[in-house]
Amino acid sequence: MSAEALLEPEAITRLIGFGGPKLARGMVELFVANAPAKAAEAREALDCGDAAALRAALHGLKSSAGQLGAMTLFRACTAGEELASRGELTACAAHLQRVEADLPVVCRQLLAAVPSR
């Protein structure tokens, strides 16, 4: 998948239209600050076999990713969350790998997509 396909540009445009560039920038900065920790929590939960913690970490990341238009992250988190809720941890690994691979690129793209302060 190309780096350009990781984001839905219309999502940032909608956020700016809804609350202005300051809100959009704040939401992106909050995501960039917190998403890596959520991904690390998900990895630790998967490695420890803790389905509930994995589901919770992916759920939190999913919501933010969806609002910001990070659709590959949103889809991977959704699929992983559903599998974790059924205790299918082995199947979650590929989805978490997608999150871990895409997250740094998504963060850079999000920061570039919103007006600076």
Task: Give a yes or no: residue 116 inside a domain.
Answer: no
Q: Would you state the pLDDT for residue 51?
A: 97
Task: Give a yes or no: residue 47 inside a domain.
Answer: yes
Note the pLDDT tens digit of each residue in 11-31: 999 999 999 999 999 999 999
Which helix H or strand E contains 2, and what residues bound it? none
Task: Give a yes or no: residue 8 inside a domain.
Answer: yes
Note the pLDDT tens digit of each residue in 88-99: 999 999 999 999
Distance CA 37, CA 66 (A): 17
Looking at the 3D structure of the chain, how many domains does it have? 1
Task: Give a yes or no: residue 40 inside a domain.
Answer: yes
Task: Give a yes or no: residue 99 inside a domain.
Answer: yes
Note the pLDDT tens digit of each residue in 45-90: 999 999 999 999 999 999 999 999 999 999 999 999 999 999 999 9
The number of beta carbons lying within 10 Å of the beta carbon of residue 21 is 14
Task: Give a yes or no: residue 117 inside a domain.
Answer: no
CATH of the domain at 39: 1.20.120.160
- Give the range of the structural domain holding residue 65, as residue numbers without chain letter: 3-111
